[in-house]
Structure 1
């Protein structure tokens, strides 16, 4: 039987509006999203954010954190985000992190595996967020995942995978059990400027991604739009679109 899956919102989608992080949390709470994924705290004390999350009834799904920051201040990063209720830290492709070459595969898998054990010891999980570059060589990405410590999972971005020519549904099936979080995004492959478009405006089979996520034990479907020109409209549109898709 397919399991329930909750919906979340990556707060970087709202980075283009001149409002505090607390006000952005208010906006998300006014929608049907169940939780938020962080990408920085904008200098606001964790106590204040935790209090606002509790008041609003929003879950803290996890946080995108630079790999260097986790390596250099592991205990501090874990303490900060655990205080918010996050149980996962997510690393994106960045300088020194990637799978473009065999050396990069070995280096990145080694760095993340070492961190994964340290993060797991604090009862948190470490995930690697996939972009588009990972799928330039599917074989290299497979080798990368095989080389990762089992403590390190994946956060697959469906739109960026599609934009790179990969099949996001096949990826969710292939990495079932390693992918607790999914960035449910849409994209069009006709331009380098469209790795993310509004849900329903691209080529991703969103319904199939959701069905596969449910069938493979994904816990959260998280919306993100890294290229939106209208963040508030993107929040409202994704809320309506995802609600319709989840209920279909």
Structure 2
């Protein structure tokens, strides 16, 4: 719909007093090699430009599969290539949990690409990369929050993909973030 009717998407966002559109997922085929990542970056850039004409910005939300090394590149990940290849008008909603699950250092990513990351998803994961209640996993929450603040992130959004009890998960996240040593 963003490609077909950017004005309609922007109008819907503006009706909600929102100026940010997030592409929530692109499948693994978009990140397998340099050509696929470059095509994805170009496509996102065109979408960002179309939305910008209507007063909205575009962000891409990562998962763990963007952190593979494309088949025809050096040690660079597809995520790195995407951010470095995409037009500056394409931002990132960095999911810290998925980055950690992929073996990346979310703090490093925040410092490296902070000028492109206005939003982050604060999600905790187990050592095996499975989403878990905030504070029960391997994500260094205080350091991630500090890095996000240092990078100028506008919003830190709590996320848990499949909580057993969503309300209890929210209450737990609130309690974790209220702990002075956690949230700083």
**TM superposition score normalised by structure 1:** 0.67
1:153·1:180 contact (CA, 8 Å) conserved in 2? yes
Any conservation in 1 of the 2:122–2:156 contact (CA below 8 Å)?
Answer: yes
**Residue 53 (structure 1) aligns with:** none
Contact 2:68 2:77 in 1 (8 A): no
Q: 2:126, 2:138 within 8 Å by CA — same for their partners in 1? A: yes
Match status 1:215 vs 2:143: no
- Name the SS of the counterpart of 1:119 in structure 2: helix
Inter-partner Cα distance in structure 2 for 1:108 and 1:224: 25
The answer to whether structure 1 residue 186 and structure 2 residue 141 are counterparts is no
Asked if the contact 1:96/1:104 (under 8 Å) is kept, the reply is: no
Superposition pairs of residues 137-148 of structure 1, within 5 angstroms: 137=69, 138-148=76-86
Cα gap change, 1:104/1:189 in structure 2, threshold over 3 Å: closer, same or farther? farther
Work out whether 1:85 is the aligned partner of 2:14: no
Asked whether the 8 Å contact 2:66–2:77 carries over to 1, the reply is: no
CA distance in 1, matches of 2:94, 2:32: 17
71 and 243 in structure 1: CA distance in 2 versus 1, 3 angstrom threshold: farther
**Do the aligned partners of 1:177 and 1:216 also contact (CA within 8 Å) in 2?**
yes
Where do 5+ consecutive residues of structure 1 fail to align?
Answer: 1-68
Say whether 1:198 aligns with 2:133: yes
| Aligned mates of 2:178, 2:121 — CA distance in 1 | 15
Instruction: Report the equivalent of 2:169.
Output: 234
Q: Deviation per CA, 1:136-191: give whole Å up to 9, x if none.
A: 22433222111111111011111111011000000001101100001011101325
Q: What residue number does 2:30 align with?
A: 98
Q: Which one of the candidate residues 167, 173, 176 is aligned to 2:114?
A: 176
Q: Does 1:151 align with 2:89?
A: yes
Gaps of 5+ in 2: 70-75
